[in-house]
Amino acid sequence: MTSSVVDIVVKRSESWHNNAWGHRPSGCRKMAKIIVVEDDKEILDALVDVLVHEKHTVDALSDGADAWESLQRFQYDLVILDWGLPTMDGLEVLKKFRGSGGGTPVLFLTGRSTVDEKLTGLDSGADDYLPKPYDMREFRARVSALLRRPKELSSEIVHWSDIELDTKAFRCTRRGEEIRLLPKEFALLDFLIRNRNLVFTPDQLVDKLWAGDTEVSVDAIRQCVKRLRTKIDVPDRPSYITTVVGVGYKVESE
């Protein structure tokens, strides 16, 4: 990595704290959960610094294999990925992520700036491509643009195992028999099914589903899971909702 790249990133990050880019406006967007994967520690620290200042929650990693493991376990609002990573390069991580059905926006950061290299990154599934060296104002603008993109419209009917959720009619059935769920129970089950195989902590579930509801706590999530199991589980069969001890909950693929 050339010193010029580090200088640009770090100096722009320092100027952020001196308000060189202006104040963050009030009433701005809800914070996002972002994973940043960059093997240069100075650059990684500078990127995290800017994102945390923007009130985002950030997972910072420097290894491609670790990034792939996190992408399989957790749900993110944005992936920021460097191309040149140890163990597994960023392009391979990107291809595996898209190949597994991952739909989260991906911003590719790299020192490779030829047209062919940019096309390779975009064709592999990147939503945007920012070549190094870059100005941190542009980085921030690219992040904001990706986070503003509307999510894909959710399907009205969600199928999983013998469970069917009609999100328009707010109706849950198992093998054709209706199961009456409370709104929070329905929302939790819908979210876990749409994100199956991913493990979510109770805190993450609160943030993802009810960030603005002060009455929802970690204990309320546990009670909601307990009620759901009582309503949807079948006697003498494993629960539809798996508890990952010490971590949280998930729904597994059929």
Q: Domain segments of the chain: what residues?
A: 3-148, 157-250
Give the pLDDT confidence score for residue 49 in this predicted structure.
93
The structure tokens listed for 241 are 């909702």
Q: Which of 139, 86, 82, 150 is nearest to 112 (CA)?
A: 82
The structure tokens listed for 60 are 């910072």
Quote the strand ranges of the chain, DSSP E. Answer: 33-37, 57-61, 78-82, 106-110, 128-131, 157-160, 163-166, 171-174, 177-179, 242-244, 248-250
In the CATH hierarchy, which top-level class contains the domain 157-250? Answer: mainly alpha
What are 7-50's pLDDT values in tens digits? 444 434 444 443 333 333 333 445 889 999 999 999 999 999 99
Q: Which of 91, 127, 95 is nearest to 112 (CA)?
A: 91
Q: Which of 10, 1, 4, 233 is nearest to 139 (CA)?
A: 10
Give the pLDDT confidence score for residue 45 in this predicted structure.
94
* CATH number for the domain running over 3-148: 3.40.50.2300
Give the pLDDT confidence score for residue 187 in this predicted structure.
86
61-76 average pLDDT score: 91
Sequence-distant (≥ 6) Cβ neighbours of residue 153 within 8 angstroms: none
Q: Label residue 124 by pLDDT band (50, 70, 90).
A: confident
